[in-house]
Amino acid sequence: MDEKTIRNAMEAPVQDRGCFLVDVTVGADDDIVLTIESENGTVDMEDCVSLSRTFQEIFDREVEDYSLTVTSAGLDQPFKVLKQFLKAVGTQVEVRFKGGRKLLGTLTAADEESITLAYTAREAVEGKKKKVDVAHEDRFPLEGINSVTPHIDFE
């Protein structure tokens, strides 16, 4: 059983639950993990149970021996698909760039090639003795980014 076959078979049932597929992995011994996210709101247990049942109806365990886990995309996990970026527009994210730089800001736009981030940076400004916060809104190509994750503020 391969990821593409699973993705094709499960795309419609996942959408019927008001969700979208984030990732499909097939590990050793056919250990399958379906990672989903809700279009609006959060994934609940019934979403996972329903999709697990649907999967078992489509892929007979008597024919193919596999283990299945249906899970939601974790809050601490990097975005993997464009829909995750689009759902996060207007929220705080943490961007880790290739080369080690890290930036916290509000995701204002996303497409297949880039994200746009609104953020502030402390900078020296002519006529001021101390550095001040300067607002920026910049577009960053995805090819220069290692990961984008939701920012969780515990304050």
pLDDT band at 2 (very low <50, low <70, confident <90, very high): confident
pLDDT band at 155 (very low <50, low <70, confident <90, very high): low
Strands 67-72 and 31-38 turn out to be: parallel
Looking at residue 60, what is its pLDDT?
85
Which of 47, 72, 97 marks a domain boundary? 72
Helix/strand/coil for 3: helix
Give the model confidence (pLDDT) of 114-124 as tens digits. 999 999 988 88
Q: What is the pTM of this model?
A: 0.83
- Domain containing 48 equals 3-72
Residue 59, in any domain of the structure: yes
Please state, in angstroms and rounded to a whole number, the distance separating the CA atoms of residues 108 and 114. 11
Encoded tokens for 27? 């590990």
Give the model confidence (pLDDT) of 23-33 as tens digits. 999 998 889 99
My answer on whether 24 and 42 are in the same domain is: yes
My answer on whether 90 and 56 are in the same domain is: no
Please state, in angstroms and rounded to a whole number, the distance separating the CA atoms of residues 155 and 153. 6
Encoded tokens for 65? 């021996």
